[in-house]
Amino acid sequence: MASQILPLELIDRCIGSKIWVIMKSEREFTGTLLGFDDYVNIVLEDVTEFETTAQGVKKTKLAQTLLNGSNIAMLIPGSEGPEAN
Amino acid sequence: MDSSVTGIQEPFDLIRLSLSERVFVKLRGDRELTGILHAYDGHMNLIMSDVEETIMIVDQESAANGHGVVNVAKRKMDMLFVRGDGVILVSPPSRT
Amino acid sequence: MDDSPRPPSNEQSPPPPPPQPQSQTGTPTDFLKGVVGKRVVVRLVSGVDYKGLLSCLDGFMNIALEQTEEHVNGRITNRYGDTFVRGNNVLYISADEPL
């Protein structure tokens, strides 16, 4: 049988690495993952926020930031984000 | 002002200290209220009296043209229950 | 208080000191402990920003701010002495000064 890994165990292994966070709305964040809790509230460092609007993508640099888990849709471990490619 | 001076340990203390005072409430849907705060609970359900409601109505056509004409409607209510899930922020009168 | 080492006593030994709060653990709780009293930006889901001094918050991310400025599209649209922000509207809390 394949070894089981819980979803949050995978995220736990990403602490200290880059992560790409996609929200339920047209908003994304990248940064270094410092930690998270059971609600998947997430603490990031050296953050860039990407906000997609009709006018284009607005980028905002942020210092240490706590993201509310209730708006998070997806996490992509190890990714530098939408501009990586 | 330091929170040790104002005696606020948790966010709800700010509301507790505003009971019987005139407060400003921002609601979802571009609504704002000012009125006397009589009661609140953990959901932020509110009872307010002597309330003036302000509704911002942005005219979509002119907003698209970049003019951003905002029509403001106001009305008064004597006594009001506000359901907590619509509350964005509550600002008490400044205690200066 | 005298901080020279105490002589040994027959009294019950004091409880061990609580574990040192690690300054660089990154859970949301640790972040929040570190950021209370500091300048923060609170961005709501609607995109409106509130900049101010973080007085306190609770487990719902309800937030009390002092010296609050409301920013919409980069412009200050309001100032409040104190502000209670209901947690369900909060998108993020970001440090606005070094922690």
pLDDT tens digits along B35-71: 999 999 999 999 999 999 998 887 766 656 656 667 8
**C-alpha separations of C55 from A25, A74, B3, C64 in Å:** 29, 31, 6, 5
CA closest to A27 among chain C residues: C45
Longest distance between any two alpha carbons in chain B, whole Å: 49
Q: Is C16 on the interface with B (CB under 8 A)?
A: no
Q: Half-sphere exposure of B34 toward its Cβ, with a 13 Å CA cutoff?
A: 5
Residue B1 pLDDT: 46
Judge whether C56 and A64 are in contact, CB under 8 Å. no
Residue C76 pLDDT: 95
Separation between Cα atoms, residue A19 and residue B42, nearest integer Å: 35
- Checking if the pLDDT of A70 tops 90, the result is yes
| Tokens of residue C51, six digits | 């900049």
Complete DSSP assignment for chain C? ---SPPPP-SSPPPPPPPPPPPTT---HHHHHHHHTTSEEEEEETTS-EEEEEEEEE-TT--EEEEEEEEEETTEEEEEEEEEEE-GGGEEEEEESS--
- Beta-sheet pairing, B70-82 with B46-58: antiparallel
Residue B6 pLDDT: 59
| Tokens of residue C78, six digits | 């309001």
Of A37, A43, B27, the closest CA to residue C89 belongs to: B27
B-interface mutation test, from C77, C84, C85, most B Cβ less than 10 A away: C84
Residue A23 pLDDT: 93
Separation between Cα atoms, residue C38 and residue C56, nearest integer Å: 10
Average per-residue pLDDT in chain A?
A: 91
Residue C7 pLDDT: 45
* A-proximal residues of C, 20-59, CB under 8 Å: 25-32, 35, 41, 45, 47
Separation between Cα atoms, residue A65 and residue C40, nearest integer Å: 9
Of A6, C42, C74, A85, the closest CA to residue B88 belongs to: C42
Local confidence band at C62 (pLDDT 50, 70, 90 cut-offs): very high
* pLDDT tens-digit readout, C72-98: 998 999 999 999 999 999 999 999 998
* Average pLDDT over every residue of B69-75: 85
Shortest CB distance from C86 goes to which of B3, B6, B88?
B88
Separation between Cα atoms, residue C14 and residue B92, nearest integer Å: 45
Residue type, B10: E
